[in-house]
Amino acid sequence: MSSDASRPRAAEAPASPAGEPAAPALDRFDRPLCDLRVSVTDRCNFRCLYCMPRELFGPDHAFLPRAELLSYEELGRLVRVFAELGVTKVRLTGGEPLLRRDLEVLVDLVASTPGIEDVALTTNGSLLAKRAASLRDAGLTRVTVSLDSLDPDVFQATADTKVPLSAVLEGIAAARDAGLTPVKLNTVLQRGVNDEGLLELVGFARDNGYVLRFIEYMDVGETNGWLLEEVVPAREVVARVDAVWPLERVPAARFGEVAARHRFVDGQGEIGFVSSVTTPFCTDCTRARLTAVGELYTCLFASSGTDLRAVLRGGADDDALRAAVGGRWARRDDRYSQLRGRGEATARPEMSYLGG
């Protein structure tokens, strides 16, 4: 799927530390490095069926030892290196990122990094109500909250948590009130699980000024029991929404935009659809992922990452770090979603480890 937005040019790249223009990092398909997703923890207080099913992430599951996690200072240094290679947008994720203590410290470090224009957070919302204002004050730009149902019973069944739906809704409202707008809501649809409530979610988003994103259920990791027949194709969801609230397509705002955006014809906001299964967008992918232990992944479906922690803690200067990151990106040829079903399946890390 091609983007309507133009591809960034070399002249638009950020300046190097010496003040000289730096060429953007490009991979083998000339895709620029623009977005970085930083996982700060693999721990979560939910056990969503499509991400961390409880039978495999139970009380005895071995999460990453806290001593192995990168410090905020180390993460901040890596973000600076990524910014020097072209990254302008950083998203903090997990696991549940708000389980990491004093996350505001990292937000401040990232927000103050030259070249970083947008700092976002993806969260399940359960701890957001008391933190939204402090996160905004630290420099957070936007927040995305996972919300798979407005039916309390369906919510409890899909999230498999003792956290009530009301706590998540309070967190969403707190983010809006703190000015982290527009608040985005991510809904992963599964056939026969939560797809019957999709119109209720659309109405909720429209009435409250939120931006809803429907995401096709993906085959990330090895534990979620993914089946193609459980995917609700984005085109079906568009048709169901359009029949109630007419939609019109919105051109992409920039190269690499993941969601296919539509606005409501009546002017009451917009909605997006992420269709990596039925309409892969590999050709426009501009994002890298950094795990909590400093591994660089160049695709959500990659089988292995590049250990930047060893480089970082081995005494490397920033030039060596830039070479490590830029060199890996230059070798990047990932396009899993385009090749899905061709028999190239390999073992892959879980979404909770890589970050959503």
Amino acid at position 343, single letter: G
Average pLDDT, the chain: 87
Does residue 8 lie in a domain region? Answer: no
**Count of CB atoms situated within 10 Å of the CB of 224:** 21
> Is residue 70 included in any domain, yes or no?
yes
Q: Average of pLDDT values for 224-246?
A: 87
Q: Between the CA atoms of 309, 315, 316 and 318, what dihedral angle is there, to the nearest 10 degrees?
A: 90
Distance CA 355, CA 344 (A): 23
Number of structural domains (the chain) is: 1
For residues 257-274, average pLDDT: 93
Q: Is 18 inside any structural domain?
A: no
Does the structure show a pLDDT above 90 at 53?
no
Q: What is d(CA 122, CA 124) in angstroms, rounded to the nearest whole number?
A: 7
Q: Identify the band that residue 224 occupies on the pLDDT scale cut at 50, 70 and 90.
A: low
Output the domain CATH number for residue 300: 3.20.20.70
Q: Does residue 158 fall inside a structural domain?
A: yes
Confidence of residue 228 (pLDDT cuts 50, 70, 90): confident
Average of per-residue pLDDT across 249-259: 81
pLDDT at 55: 84
Q: Convert the pLDDT of each residue in 157-197 to its tens digit.
A: 999 999 999 999 999 999 999 999 999 999 999 999 999 99
Q: How many CB atoms lie within 10 A of CB 131?
A: 21
pTM beyond 0.85: the answer is yes
Residue 186 belongs to domain spanning: 32-354
Question: pLDDT of 4-21, one tens digit each?
Answer: 454 444 333 444 554 444
User: Does 118 reside within a domain?
Assistant: yes
pLDDT at residue number 342: 52
Is residue 15 a part of any domain in this protein? no
| CA angle in degrees (0–180, nearest 5) for 258-80-2 | 20
pLDDT in tens, 106-129: 999 999 999 999 999 999 999 999
Question: Can you tell me the distance from the alpha carbon of 183 to that of 347, in angstroms, rounded to the nearest whole number?
Answer: 34
Rounded to a whole number of angstroms, the CA Rg of the chain reads 20
pLDDT > 90? residue 61: no
Give CA–CA dist 283/1, Å, rounded: 7
